[in-house]
Structure 1
Amino acid sequence: MITSIKNNSLVDFEHELSLILNTYSNDVEKAKKIIIFIEDVLKQLTDWLKHHVFKTIQEEIKFFKEIKPNIVAKLIFYKEILSLVASLPLDKSKRIKHFEKKLDIINQFYRKNREFIKYIKSHSTHFDELYFTRKKYKDIFLNDCAVIIHDAKLCTSHDFLLAEVIAFELLALHIENRIDNLNQSCAITNNQIKSNLHWTAKKVDLIELIYALHEAKVFDNGQADIKEITHVFEKAFQIDLGDNITRSFIDIKNRKTDQTRFLIQLQAALESKIENDYK
């Protein structure tokens, strides 16, 4: 694989990448495996670059403009994915804001580097030798100060910036898809709950059940709001529980006996079913 990359081909790299993508379904596990894989590839390329001499300037430009940035971009992309997933809020309503915040950061990056992005998107080449070759002396006004901390044998002034441009373009598309999926999910939850079931027990019984489920934290790891849960039950079972379910819950708490009357009935009914099935 490294040989083909050295020869200015990404075919084997993309093939190995696709194998990992097809092997793992979990986003976190997938990202971790890909990061390890790419870091190993870059380590081998680093060792090779320390001693390699490109035959022509065009060959060097091709490597630092087309080959290396595309590899580094995938590393940046999957590290960003891992970071996004790790910091994803449990509350669904906050996830869209979480993704939109990242989109704002990407847009700031675009604005800051708009001239360079315009250069890349227009397929310009007049600054290629300046941006994508490892010369010791370049125009001091065009050089990025960050280049000082890099090994001049391993990078050019703009190959990492190009990798970021590629990575953030992929990331923006990924985030927009995630936002679309969340919006569709919300639409299904809010507008498309259709059922022929009707709640025929007392309203207060359903409110008792809703509060029990909420306190047991069975929805969204405990992050779901009581009103949101109530709304779903109302639509699912075609019943109006009123505007103030808190008042009903106070009535439940004020019962002199059997405060969890309905839950006790449910437990008794299920235990009776289990007992009868054993007979």
Structure 2
Amino acid sequence: MIASIKNNCLVDFEHELSLILNTYSNEVEKAKKIIIFIEDILKQLTDWLKNHVFETTQEEIKFFKEIKSNIVAKLIFYKEILSLVATLPLARNKRVKHFEKKLYAINQFHRKNREFIKYIKTHSTHFDELYFTRKKYKDLFLNDCSVIIHDAKLCTSYDYLLAEVIAFELLALHIENRIDNLNESCAISTNKFNSNLHWTAKKVDLIELIYALHEAKVFDNGEADIKEITHVFEKAFQIELEDKVYGSFGDIKKRKTNQTRFLSHLQKVLETKIENDYK
């Protein structure tokens, strides 16, 4: 990785990142693994920067403006994703508000930094030496005071701000997609569900099945909650369960023998069907 950084190349970093993205399907696990991976890369960068001397000012600018900022941006992005998922409300209607609140914060960030963002978006370069090099003297009025808490050998006055700009742009797109998906899902769920099927077994049996499917993470890569799954089954099988879901699961846990009674029955009847079909 560091060899690639020396050559001002992000290919290895992006390749390793894509491997993690393709390995994990659960959003939380994916974000955790990526955060650990990037933090390790940044530790390597720290050691390298302490002793490295850039041959030219342009080489230093390129590193802090194009390479380090993009790596840090991914770290910020996945930490934000982890935070969003960890604080996601259970109720579907509150989830949209949860995402919209973050979008509002991103818009506030954009308003506060609009001149710098304009500088980046227009591919301007006239302040690059000020923003993306580690010169000992800089205009103290232009410097962001947050630079004080960082080691001047490892960062410039604006490379972290650029990383935030990149990260929040990615985050805004991600959130907008999440909101669109939630709105589409809500629109589908409010349409009349045409089904002639009725659940004729015990309600507790269906609740046992719902919990099993939830724990198996078969819906939305494990992101769907019990209430969402229950609502779909209620619509599909014309049955009311919501008031009984949590209480009935408590009863299931209290069973002294064969706690997964209904699932065991399903397994038995299916195995019998398979055996009979082979005869």
CA offsets, 1:184-208, max 9 Å, x none? 1111111152224479x9xxxxxx9
The structure-2 alpha-carbon separation of the partners of 1:223 and 1:238, relative to structure 1 and needing over 3 Å to count, comes to closer
Shift of residue 149 of structure 1? 1.2
Identify the residue that residue 175 of structure 2 maps to in structure 1. Answer: 175
SS of the residue 1:100 aligns to: helix
Q: How does 1:53-68 map to 2 (within 5 A)?
A: 53-68=53-68
SS of the residue 2:25 aligns to: coil
What code does the residue aligned with 1:100 have? E
What is the aligned residue count? 237
What code does the residue aligned with 1:89 have? P
The structure-2 alpha-carbon separation of the partners of 1:221 and 1:77, relative to structure 1 and needing over 3 Å to count, comes to closer
Is there any run of 5+ residues in structure 2 with no aligned partner, and where? Answer: 215-223, 241-261, 273-279
Shift of residue 167 of structure 1? 0.3
Distance 2:32 2:167 in 1: 16
Identify the residue that residue 106 of structure 2 maps to in structure 1. Answer: 106
Task: Answer with 1 or 2: which has the greater Rg.
Answer: 1
Identify the residue that residue 127 of structure 1 maps to in structure 2. Answer: 127
Name the TM-score, length of structure 2 as normaliser: 0.74
Distance 1:65 1:91 in 2: 41
1:161 aligns with 2:161: yes
Distance 1:237 1:223 in 2: 15
Distance 1:133 1:195 in 2: 65
What code does the residue aligned with 2:97 have? K
Identify the residue that residue 245 of structure 1 maps to in structure 2. Answer: none
Q: How does 1:192-211 map to 2 (within 5 A)?
A: 193-197=193-197
What code does the residue aligned with 2:191 have? N
Identify the residue that residue 148 of structure 1 maps to in structure 2. Answer: 148
RMSD: 3.4
SS of the residue 2:51 aligns to: coil
CA offsets, 1:214-266, max 9 Å, x none? 9xx97976657xxx95x985x65789x9xxxxxxxxxxxxxxxxxxxxxxxxx
SS of the residue 1:135 aligns to: coil
What code does the residue aligned with 2:119 have? Y
Distance 1:22 1:107 in 2: 31
Identify the residue that residue 16 of structure 1 maps to in structure 2. Answer: 16
Name the TM-score, length of structure 1 as normaliser: 0.74
Identify the residue that residue 75 of structure 1 maps to in structure 2. Answer: 75
Shift of residue 6 of structure 1? 1.9
SS of the residue 1:171 aligns to: helix
1:47 aligns with 2:44: no
What code does the residue aligned with 1:20 have? I
Q: How does 1:222-261 map to 2 (within 5 A)?
A: none
Distance 2:44 2:165 in 1: 24
Identify the residue that residue 25 of structure 1 maps to in structure 2. Answer: 25
What code does the residue aligned with 2:169 have? E
Is there any run of 5+ residues in structure 1 with no aligned partner, and where? Answer: 202-207, 242-266
CA offsets, 1:67-115, max 9 Å, x none? 0000000000001111111111111111111111111111110000000
Identify the residue that residue 191 of structure 1 maps to in structure 2. Answer: 191
Distance 2:184 2:2 in 1: 42
Distance 2:157 2:226 in 1: 49
Distance 1:165 1:130 in 2: 18
Distance 2:198 2:68 in 1: 62
Distance 1:4 1:109 in 2: 32
The 4+ residue runs of structure 1 with deviation greater than 3 A are 196-199, 217-224, 235-239
1:84 aligns with 2:64: no
